[in-house]
Amino acid sequence: MFDKVLIANRGEIALRIHRACREMGIRTVAVHSTADEDAMHVRLADEAVCIGPPQARQSYLNIPAILSAATITGAEAIHPGYGFLSENADFASMVEEHGLTFIGPSPEHIRMMGDKITAKNAAKAAGLPVVPGSEGALESLEDARRNAEEIGYPVLLKATAGGGGKGMKVARDASEIEEAWRLARSEAGSAFGNADLYMEKYLGKPRHIEIQILADNHGEVVHLGERDCSLQRRHQKVLEEAPSPALNSVMRESIGSIATAAMKKIGYRNAGTIEFLYEDGKFYFIEMNTRLQVEHPITEMITGLDIVREQVRIAAGAPLGYTQEDVRFSGHAIECRVNAEHPETFVPSPGKVGIYHAPGGLGVRVDSALYTGYRVPPNYDSMIAKLIVHGTSRNECLMRLRRALGEFVVEGMNTTLPLHQRLIAEPDFVNGDYDIHWLEHFVHRQD
Ligand code: MV4
């Protein structure tokens, strides 16, 4: 096992990784920007190294500074968390070239899944169901037209280098294809420096369901069930739940074993998440995330597994030590992402934390790096806390979530806590009756 791990991240996830390491007897090195000198992860880590000014490009994305920090502190491994360098294949390979261990998948798997066409081809070859669409990248507008006729409208143009919904345009019929092609290409070009597009049949009312995978270096792969992440606004998840209200145990085991077999086939290692769209009882692979995800705690709550601990053990070469039959699912979990934003306009609201009181009690978990007097810097993502609640049933989980939200106090800034209060009172949500578009309609409704 490692003696010392460097955490190449900030905020709640840096703290989350520190906690797993501390419990494993591993010393931690925090890295931080000048804006994060007073951050919780810096205070708790065994050592801390300042790696640059506030702008992420010069600190949390500064590869030479992070590698130097690892070298001078004698860290043996680097955990990248989510965002920042977590899905940068070049960073993962530089970590390995420096004789350190990257706590995550191989650079080759990160690269494979980073390109959405390569990812889809690999997924299809490994037996995952995919959305009907073009064979690879489209050559021209004429090629797009031909493909759309063959697939059947409505179709969706997607960026090969994409993610986050950028460079994505729907064409409802032949009259819309030229405009969609032009807009998607220019958006993809400016967002990713790569204007290449591919095409898929557009699914109108799907749910977003993702499967958590763990794979060790000895060929063992397990799935930890699914998370329903359909409640999003502008491609930002707002609330996630596990299990999905839309699946039964037969469907769960079916897609879970297909996902597990696919990961064995491609030789995937460490933690990963396979994203599907789910519509009319069918799953369609869309993307794979080769990192620890923000919403991993809901899976931890229903399986009792510590996913960060598993990532560290796998990276150190340890076998999982259990098989799929040993993974037991228990109860229901929901995560609410609390952002420092106005709950109706979503305008960011960084500032100094006044009174801070986190809810507690049975089945309540708060992952946050906040404390009274902390100044939330304006330079980074606005998520300040995750409230994660577990119950033996979905109904118990909802009752407990309502109770916990009522206890949560964050003064000094606007937060999205009132949005969550409103959301969990909504009959459609209570009934589990929602798709990927439901939340956008809900937030724009004035009642
Ligand atoms: C789709 C889709 C409908 N049909 N693909 C959005 C981001 C990217 N990860 C994939 N996305 C979508 N792909 C087909 N063939 C609809 C979306 C989509 C979406 C997906 C998941 C969660 C929220 C979403 C919101 C809008 C569109």
Structure tokens at 396: 């118990």
Distance CA 327, CA 334 (A): 19
Q: How far is the CA of 163 from the centre of ligand 1 (A)?
A: 10
Residue 110 lies in a domain: no
Residues 406 and 277 occupy one common structural domain: yes
Ligand 1 atom closest to Cα of 284?
15
**Neighbour count for residue 130 (Cβ, 10 Å):** 16
**Contact, 283 vs 210, CB < 8 A?**
no
Residue 319 lies in a domain: yes
Residues 215 and 178 occupy one common structural domain: no
CATH number, position 31: 3.40.50.20
Residues 183 and 304 occupy one common structural domain: no
Distance CA 309, CA 297 (A): 12
Burial of 379 (0-12, 13-18, 19+ CB in 10 A): middle
Residue 80 lies in a domain: yes
Residues 211 and 289 occupy one common structural domain: yes
Ligand 1 atom closest to Cα of 202?
4
Q: Which residue among 168, 199, 276 has the greatest number of ligand 1 atoms within 8 angstroms of its CB, and so is best to mutate?
A: 168
- Look at the chain and count its residues: 447
Residue 292 lies in a domain: yes
Q: How far is the CA of 208 from the centre of ligand 1 (A)?
A: 8
Q: Which residue among 160, 277, 280 has the greatest number of ligand 1 atoms within 8 angstroms of its CB, and so is best to mutate?
A: 277
Q: What is the overall mean pLDDT for the chain?
A: 97
CATH number, position 196: 3.30.1490.20
197 has a pLDDT exceeding 90: yes
Residue 122 lies in a domain: no
The arithmetic mean of pLDDT across residues 89-109, rounded, is 98
78 has a pLDDT exceeding 80: yes
Q: What's the pLDDT score for residue 221?
A: 98
Closest Cα partner for 310 from 213, 401, 191, 407?
213
Residues 351 and 294 occupy one common structural domain: yes
Structure tokens at 377: 């810097």
**The tokens 């228990």 sit on which residue?**
330
* Catalytic one of 291, 313, 365, 400: 291
Residues 279 and 193 occupy one common structural domain: no
107 has a pLDDT exceeding 80: yes
The arithmetic mean of pLDDT across residues 207-220, rounded, is 98
Residue 28 lies in a domain: yes
447 has a pLDDT exceeding 70: no
Residues 321 and 405 occupy one common structural domain: yes
Nearest Cα residue to atom 19 of ligand 1: 436
Number of domains making up the chain? 3
Burial of 164 (0-12, 13-18, 19+ CB in 10 A): exposed
Q: How far is the CA of 229 from the centre of ligand 1 (A)?
A: 11
The arithmetic mean of pLDDT across residues 143-158, rounded, is 98
pLDDT in tens, 355-372: 999 999 999 999 999 999
Residues 292 and 354 occupy one common structural domain: yes
Closest Cα partner for 386 from 402, 366, 406?
366
The arithmetic mean of pLDDT across residues 253-279, rounded, is 98
Q: What band does 261 get if pLDDT is binned at 50, 70 and 90?
A: very high
Q: Which residue among 235, 275, 434 has the greatest number of ligand 1 atoms within 8 angstroms of its CB, and so is best to mutate?
A: 235
263 has a pLDDT exceeding 70: yes
The arithmetic mean of pLDDT across residues 149-156, rounded, is 98
Q: What's the pLDDT score for residue 163?
A: 77
The arithmetic mean of pLDDT across residues 425-445, rounded, is 96
Residues 189 and 211 occupy one common structural domain: no
Q: What's the pLDDT score for residue 86?
A: 98
**DSSP code per residue over 54-111:** SSGGGTTT-HHHHHHHHHHHT--EEE--SSTTTT-HHHHHHHHHTT-EESSS-HHHHH
The arithmetic mean of pLDDT across residues 133-162, rounded, is 96
132 has a pLDDT exceeding 70: yes
The HSE-up count of residue 443 (CA atoms within 13 Å, CB side) is 17
Ligand 1 atom closest to Cα of 164?
7
* Listed residues 201, 217, 249: the one ending a domain: 201
Ligand 1 atom closest to Cα of 229?
22
pLDDT in tens, 404-414: 999 999 999 99
Nearest Cα residue to atom 11 of ligand 1: 165
Residues 190 and 305 occupy one common structural domain: no
Residues 289 and 418 occupy one common structural domain: yes
387 has a pLDDT exceeding 80: yes
- Decide the pairing of beta strands 197-201 and 207-215: unpaired
For residue 189, give the amino acid letter. Answer: G
* Listed residues 184, 201, 218: the one ending a domain: 201
Residues in contact with ligand 1 (CB, 6 Å cut-off):
131, 156, 165, 200-203, 208, 232, 235, 277, 286-287, 436
Q: How far is the CA of 441 from the centre of ligand 1 (A)?
A: 16
* Listed residues 88, 103, 118: the one ending a domain: 103
Nearest Cα residue to atom 10 of ligand 1: 165
The arithmetic mean of pLDDT across residues 129-137, rounded, is 97
Residue 385 lies in a domain: yes
Distance CA 430, CA 398 (A): 8
Distance CA 94, CA 102 (A): 9
Residues 286 and 385 occupy one common structural domain: yes
Percent of the chain with pLDDT over 70: 100
Distance CA 402, CA 111 (A): 41
Nearest Cα residue to atom 14 of ligand 1: 202
pLDDT in tens, 325-359: 999 999 999 999 999 999 999 999 999 999 999 99
Q: Domain residues for 181? A: 132-201
Residue 108 lies in a domain: no
Q: How far is the CA of 129 from the centre of ligand 1 (A)?
A: 16
Q: What's the pLDDT score for residue 445?
A: 84
**The tokens 């032949």 sit on which residue?**
174
Q: Is 291 marked active-site?
A: yes
pTM: 0.98
Poorest-pLDDT segment among 163-172, 311-320, 362-371: 163-172
Longest dimension (CA), the chain: 62
